[in-house]
Amino acid sequence: MNIKETIKLSTPIERVEKALKLAHQGQPFLNAVVTFVDTEKQLDNLQNINPDAPFYGIPIVLKDNVNMKSVKTTGGSHILANYISQYNATITDRLQAAGAIVIAKSSMDELGMGGTNLTAATGPVYNPYDLSRMSGGSSGGSAVLVASGVVPFAIGTDTGDSVRKPASFNGIIGVKPSYGRISRYGIIPYASSLDHVGYFTRNVSDAALALEVLAGRDDQDMTSSFIEVEKYSVDLTGDLSGRKIGYIANVVRAIENQDVLAMFNRLIENMRIAGAEVVSIEMNEDLLNAILPTYYIIANSEATANHSNLDGLRFGVQQAGNDIEEIMSASRTAGFGKLIRKRFVIGSFSLFVENQEKLFRKAQKVRRLIVEDLHRALNGVDGLIAPASGYGAPKLQDTSLDQLSSRYLVAENFMVISNFSGTPSLTQPLGYVDGLPVGINLICHPFEEKKMFEIAAGLEKLTGLADCIREVGE
């Protein structure tokens, strides 16, 4: 059932109570919530909201890097464990104006830096399909709260593939629109040139509706676009006839799991039957292999500067020290996890004068080459598809994967090209392997979200995978 229908069939209080019940019921198993948010005042405030508002009385979840005034916002980090937001993120305002009721802030990898959700200060988030497996990250909490039926919509952020990968592991839709489509004001950053606000839903119709709520120019984010926001949810027919869609051959080649490949090939067959032209598109293999190191250098360089404000002086958890410098140093050392400190070192190292040309600047050049290659691949097609992952969610302690294999470098990291290029991209369910969801990823031309949702609606019809829920507890 989509949000439009839900609003007709229940009251806001019923919806919020049900969501809270499910959230509390699942929490001991999933560990997806960091902070439960008081809903009473928000429900009271609905009297100021038009009942026709798109998210009227709809319970939602914000990733814990989204500021919501007077509510704790930890960014998944110890250093912000006591931080109370002083202001609303632009999207918090937009969602509340649309009638949404925020019931919780969700778990995430520390400061968004990770793809497992294992580095969250509050511990791992567990996959509702198999509690011994990871949710994926960094927006793991939000993904799991949508997948387990708690809320129909949750905000995530996507710097590498932090919405689209967990969407794959949890059998739901994960959207990352064009860079500049949704304001980033008030979102704790990871890497500003790659950061996107994204979100999870359980069907394409809700995904399209949500972007109408979230998108639009914000003067507080100079990178936000002036391009007009469209009525994405209107006339979503899912008609694929006449569409030309490419699949990324390199990614498909890098996948070893035969079940995933079989599902993917079946989908392509069905797309052709539905009237779409599906073509194989070859991308530059060297550039695809360079995605991860390029990403690491750019993201960590920006991150080390972005998080220099976390020094324990004006806010956050402060450690003792004899002078200000000592306080700053001690607070940062105690406040960040080991992985984060490692990333800061990599970022700083890449920016040093003696390294900047051969690391940071070179990474920028490679990024441009990758983007050019993507645009070449997109040229002449409406969109590109590929499996969003070569397997279902890994076990929590899985370290078996060779991170230098193309199976990993290409199949598991290609979605970063949409962060490099700012192209809109979404992941939706493809099918199940051994009972675990696997998604399909779609990439479209910048600001062609309307077309992206239309194609996604067509694929959703073919897979039949909408509104998938795996409740946990009881």
Per CB under 8 A, 226 contacts other proteins: no
* Active-site residue flag, 162: yes
| Contact residue for other proteins among 55, 190, 232, 360 (CB under 8 A) | 360
Backbone φ and ψ for 32, nearest 5 degrees, come out as -90, -20
| Whole-number Å distance between alpha carbons of 163 and 469 | 17
What Rg do the C-alpha atoms of the chain give, in angstroms? Answer: 21
Q: Is 325 in the site for other proteins (CB under 8 A)?
A: yes
- Of the pair 188, 251, the CB lying nearest other proteins is at 188
Distance CA 113, CA 162 (A): 9
**Residue whose CB is less far from other proteins, 2 or 159:** 159
**Which of 57, 136, 189, 337 is close enough to bind other proteins by CB under 8 A?**
189
CB hemisphere CA count around 391 (13 angstroms): 14
Residue ranges in 276-295 that form contacts with other proteins under rule CB under 8 A: none
Pick one of 5, 14, 41, 352: the residue that binds other proteins (CB under 8 A).
Answer: 352
CB neighbour class for 158 (10 Å; exposed up to 12, middle 13-18, buried from 19): buried
Q: Does 25 bind other proteins (CB under 8 A)?
A: no
6, 25, 284, 356: which one binds other proteins (CB under 8 A): 356
- Work out which of 34, 60, 187, 426 binds other proteins, going by CB under 8 A: 187
Query: In angstroms, rounded to a whole number, what is the distance separating the alpha carbons of residues 273 and 207?
Result: 25
Active site residue 21: no
Output the smallest distance, CB 63 to other proteins, in A.
12
User: Per the structure block, which two tokens stand in for 440?
Assistant: 């399909």
Give me 159's structure tokens: 């710097």
Tokens of 455: 């194609």
Residue 89 interacting with other proteins (CB under 8 A): yes
Kindly state whether residue 83 participates in binding other proteins, applying the rule CB under 8 A.
yes
The nearer residue to other proteins, 24 or 69, going by C-beta atoms, is: 69
Q: CA nearest 430: which of 241, 190, 219, 267?
A: 267
> Taking CB under 8 A as the rule, does residue 311 contact other proteins?
yes
Among 67, 107, 117, 318, binds other proteins (CB under 8 A): 67
The beta-carbon contacts of 307-316 under 8 Å, at least 24 apart in sequence, are 307/111, 307/340, 307/344, 310/77, 310/79, 310/80, 310/335, 310/336, 312/79, 315/80, 315/83, 316/79, 316/80, 316/81, 316/82, 316/83
Considering only 87, 234, 372, 404, the residue that binds other proteins (CB under 8 A) is 87
CB of 150 to other proteins, least distance (A): 25
Please identify which residue in 219, 228, 357, 402 interacts with other proteins, judged by CB under 8 A: 219
Q: Does 333 bind other proteins (CB under 8 A)?
A: no
Phi (first) and psi of residue 428, to 5 degrees: -140, 165
- 192 vs 319 by CB, closer to other proteins: 192
Of 137 and 189, CB closest to other proteins: 189
221 lies in the binding site for other proteins (CB under 8 A): yes
Residue of 162, 205, 389, 425 marked active site: 162
Closer to other proteins by CB, 70 or 86: give it: 86
Q: Could you give the C-alpha distances from 36 to 15, 73, 98, in angstroms and in order?
A: 16, 11, 20
CB of 77 to other proteins, least distance (A): 10
- Three-state helix/strand/coil letters over 320-360: CCCCHHHHHHHHHHHHCCHHHHHHHHHHHHHHCHHHHHHHH
Report the sign of the C-alpha dihedral through residues 183, 1, 430, 24, in that order: positive
Q: Could you give the CA distance from residue 58 to residue 14 in angstroms, rounded to a whole number?
A: 10
Measured in whole angstroms, the distance separating CA 60 from the mean position of its chain's CA atoms is 15
- State the amino acid at position 169 in one-letter form: F
The answer to the question of residue 305 lying near other proteins (CB under 8 A) is: yes
**Minimal distance, residue 347 CB to other proteins, in Å:** 9
* 185 in contact with other proteins (CB under 8 A): yes
Tell me whether residue 235 or residue 354 sits nearer to other proteins (CB atom): 354
User: Which of 184, 251, 195 lies closest to 221 in space, CA to CA?
Assistant: 184
Q: Report how far residue 11's alpha carbon sits from residue 45's, in angstroms, rounded to the nearest whole number.
A: 14
Closest CA to 32 of 110, 106, 129: 106
Q: Does 193 engage in binding with other proteins (CB under 8 A)?
A: yes
| 185 versus 414: smaller Cβ distance to other proteins | 185
Q: Does 320 bind other proteins (CB under 8 A)?
A: no
**In terms of CB distance, is 36 or 315 closer to other proteins?**
315
Verify whether residue 405 is a known catalytic residue. Answer: no
CB-based contacts of 31, cutoff 8 Å, min separation 6: 107, 122, 123, 124, 125, 126
Interface residue with other proteins among 20, 146, 154, 188 (CB under 8 A) is 188
184 makes contact with other proteins (CB under 8 A): yes
Q: Which residues are catalytic?
A: 63, 138, 162
Contact set with other proteins (CB under 8 A): 65-67, 73, 75, 80, 83, 86-87, 89, 184-189, 191-193, 219-223, 301-302, 304-305, 307-311, 313-315, 323-325, 328, 348, 351-353, 356, 360
